[in-house]
Amino acid sequence: MTHEELEEAVPLYAIGALERSERQAIEAHLLSGCAACHAALKDYQTVASLLPFGLTPATPPNTLKAKIMMAPPPIPGATEPEQAASKSSLEPGEWMNHLFPPIAPARSLPLRLAMGFAAVLIIAGGGYLAWLSYTQTTERSGEIQQLHAAVQQETARVAALQSELQQKDQTIGTLKSEMDQRVTEVTELRDQLLQREAELDDAHTLLTQRDTSQQRLARQNEEFAGLFKNPSSKVVSLAGSDMAKSAGAFILYDPATKKAWLYAYNLPALPSGKVYQLWAIDDKPMSAGIFGLDTGQKARMLIKNLAEFSRMKKFAVTVEPDGGRPEPTGAIYLIGQI
């Protein structure tokens, strides 16, 4: 027999429902030390011992005791017929004979008492086993209920932790959004700061230029004041031409320093890319410098070296392209003579 067949035969062996050859085969297998089959046999024997207590008690007939007492004693050495050996063990009541082998009729009262005591012990043992099984089942049920309650508590705790984790995720998301907004604001403030720094640099540059212009104007004013206060300075007046009838100018000249100062007023605004150019005329025109207009259509120009002033006969102002020309090419706006 295979091991699977032997495992299937263990319940039948526990209730004595196997034939001799099968019973011998499974007993040999149990003697070989199979732990699984030993454990299964122990469980099945425990259940089989409780089966009689599940039957409904029946009252024996009144004549049963007399029949048992009047039964002839067994003949010593008597053997069962060979047909009994081959009789199937699956007949009704045969498994009870295996659990509780038939006992020969008692020959004396002490033997009956011993058998009764043994029966009481068996019944008490079965009751104890039943009570023990019920107690273990109750304990297992209590443990299962405790485990179930613990599982419910853990489930509730996990749910609370998940809810708390979701709230923290939402808080982190809100903080991240606020942080992004703050970063955007900081970036905008940085751009504004850079723009203000650029404006400050432009203002500083403009102020520096204005200071330089004011310093240059102050120097020119000092030069003009020196020329104006010098009694040896000579003055040449220039009048406006038909191009600028309301315009006028004068030139102060110091023979000692050979410096000259031009002051013009009411000149028309210059077109883009044009400048005014002063000409000193002897036999031919000679450029004395170029200038633009200040606020109020006024012009000031310091000429530092005008060595041939005494030879000059006329002075004129024309409009020329930006940078001036070696000879006059534009219209005359101012003209005067010594």
Among 229, 213, 233, smallest CA distance to 295 is for 213
108 and 219 housed in the same domain? yes
Instruction: Quote the pLDDT of residue 239.
Output: 94
Where residue 91 falls among pLDDT bands split at 50, 70, 90?
A: very low
Q: What is the pLDDT of residue 79?
A: 47
* Mean pLDDT across 82-95: 43
Q: Does 238 score more than 50 pLDDT?
A: yes
Higher pLDDT, 205 or 227: 205
Q: Which residue has better confidence, 54 or 177?
A: 177
Residue 73 included in any domain: no
CA R_g for the chain: 69
Residue 249 has a pLDDT of: 93
- Round to whole Å and give the CA distance between 217 and 213: 6
Burial class (CB in 10 A: 0-12, 13-18, 19+), 225: exposed
The total number of structural domains that make up the chain: 3
Residue 198 has pLDDT above 60, yes or no: yes
Q: Is 255 found in the same domain as 163?
A: no
Give tens-digit pLDDT for 155-179: 999 999 999 999 999 999 999 989 9
pLDDT at residue 113, as a whole number: 64
Q: Per the domain annotation, does 197 fall within a domain?
A: yes
Q: Collapse the DSSP code of 303 into the 3-class scheme (helix H, G, I; strand E, B; otherwise coil) and give the result.
A: strand
CA–CA separation, 292 and 296 (whole Å): 12
Residues 274, 230: contact at Cβ < 8 Å? Answer: no
Between 164 and 225, residue with greater pLDDT: 164
pLDDT value of residue 332: 93
Q: What is the mean pLDDT of residues 301-316?
A: 81
The answer to the question of residue 63 being in a domain is no
Assess whether 118 and 223 both reside in one domain: yes
Examine the fold and report which residue of 45, 68, 102 is the final residue of a domain before the chain moves on.
Answer: 102
User: 250 lies in which domain range?
Assistant: 230-337
Q: What is the mean pLDDT of residues 101-118?
A: 54
